[in-house]
Amino acid sequence: MNKLAHMSGVSGRTLRYYDEIGLLKPARINSSGYRIYGQKEVDRLQLILFYRELELSLEEIADIIHQPNFNEIEALENHYAELMKKRAHLDKIIATVKMTIISKKGGRIMGDKDKFAAFKEKMIEENEQKYGKEIREKYGHETVKTSNAKLMGMSQEDFEVMTKIGEEIFTLLEKAYTTGDPASDVAQELAAKHKEWLMYSWTKYSPEAHAGLAEMYIADERFTAYYDKAVKGGTGFLRDAILIYTGQKR
């Protein structure tokens, strides 16, 4: 174990923990109680560290590598693709910082859209990775494409307002949830605020689409986790408030 710890930079304590949780078992344990790791375990540790670089939790990594159909080559190819995306985004951030410095020094004036382009691209990319398939199946490719284009063309002022509204939604959700009534004034204010937030990326509004999105929040645990992180059970409450707001529930 000491050899692997020295070679990888991972502490012996961490390797023992990986063994305890079943993430990385040694090839064998000798008569003196020392953990012995072979080439297979060395390669597996490298893979674990790759996943950690992508900021996955140990639980998520374990779920991936313990799948019956886990393919190491495919996993490495996916790692490469994700790291290339990460590098491309970092390059854009670096370029934005450089442009900002030049602008601050009296050089070429930097447009507001340029200041936030990299951040908006990251937001779109994260949404695509998490919810892209489901959203496209529900609303269609062109609708999503148009929505993303609207977000990319957003001004600095609108981007900041949209972000602020997103924060206000969580505050209202906490307040409205305490009433226990999705039809209450504050709950309906929450639903209206959610609509206001949506319209920064939606090109047109319909009560049916708004209600459909609210139902998706409940159907998909990833959406549920987003709002439940503020208030446990808050996603269901928000859905009910939106259904009442849109006239889909009385």
What would you report as the CA-atom Rg of the chain, rounded to the nearest whole angstrom? 24
User: What residue type is 173 in one-letter code?
Assistant: L
Q: What's the pLDDT band for 12 if we cut at 50, 70, 90?
A: confident
Does 230 share its domain with 132? yes
Q: What is the pLDDT of residue 118?
A: 60
Least confident of 6-20, 50-64, 101-115, 159-173: 101-115
Does 12 share its domain with 85? no
pLDDT in tens, 60-107: 889 888 888 888 888 888 878 878 877 876 777 776 676 667 666 766
Q: What is the pLDDT of residue 127?
A: 62
- Assigned domain for 11 exists: yes
More confident residue, 185 or 136: 185
Does 133 share its domain with 223? yes
Q: What CA–CA distances, in Å, run from 21 to 10, 72, 163, 200?
A: 16, 20, 39, 44
Does 201 share its domain with 218? yes
Q: What is the pLDDT of residue 221?
A: 79
- Assigned domain for 115 exists: no
Please state whether 174 falls in left (phi above 0), alpha (psi between -120 and 50) or beta: alpha
Domain count along the chain:
3
pLDDT above 90 coverage of the chain, percent: 26
Q: Specify the pTM.
A: 0.48
- Assigned domain for 47 exists: yes
The residue ranges of DSSP E strands in 17-169, in sequence order, are: 28-29, 35-36
Q: Which residues contact 7 (CB under 8 A, 6 or more apart)?
A: 42
Q: What is the pLDDT of residue 179?
A: 95
Q: What CA–CA distances, in Å, run from 12 to 58, 91, 97, 169?
A: 17, 35, 39, 45
Q: Where are the alpha helices (DSSP H) in the chain?
A: 2-8, 12-20, 39-53, 58-65, 72-104, 112-139, 141-152, 156-177, 185-198, 207-219, 221-228, 234-245
pLDDT in tens, 16-73: 899 999 999 988 888 888 888 888 898 889 889 988 887 788 988 898 888 888 888 8
Q: What is the pLDDT of residue 116?
A: 56
Does 61 share its domain with 161? no
Which range of residues forms the domain containing residue 47?
2-65
State the chain's mean pLDDT as an integer. Answer: 81
Does 24 share its domain with 92? no
- Assigned domain for 250 exists: no
| Residues 212, 136: Cα–Cα separation, whole Å | 13
Q: Which residues contact 69 (CB under 8 A, 6 or more apart)?
A: none
Q: What is the pLDDT of residue 137?
A: 67
Does 47 share its domain with 21? yes
- Assigned domain for 49 exists: yes
- Which CATH number belongs to the domain containing residue 36 in this structure? 1.10.1660.10
> Contact 117/152 with Cβ under 8 angstroms?
yes
Q: What's the pLDDT band for 121 if we cut at 50, 70, 90?
A: low
- Assigned domain for 98 exists: yes
| Phi, psi dihedrals of residue 32, rounded to the nearest 5° | -90, 0
Mean pLDDT across 190-209: 91
More confident residue, 9 or 182: 182
Does 160 share its domain with 238? yes
Does 92 share its domain with 143? no
Q: What CA–CA distances, in Å, run from 213 to 41, 115, 137, 200?
A: 44, 30, 12, 15
> Contact 50/25 with Cβ under 8 angstroms?
no
Does 222 share its domain with 124? yes
- Which CATH number belongs to the domain containing residue 186 in this structure? 1.10.490.50
Q: What's the pLDDT band for 189 if we cut at 50, 70, 90?
A: very high
Q: Which residues contact 40 (CB under 8 A, 6 or more apart)?
A: 27
Does 210 share its domain with 136? yes
Does 11 share its domain with 60? yes
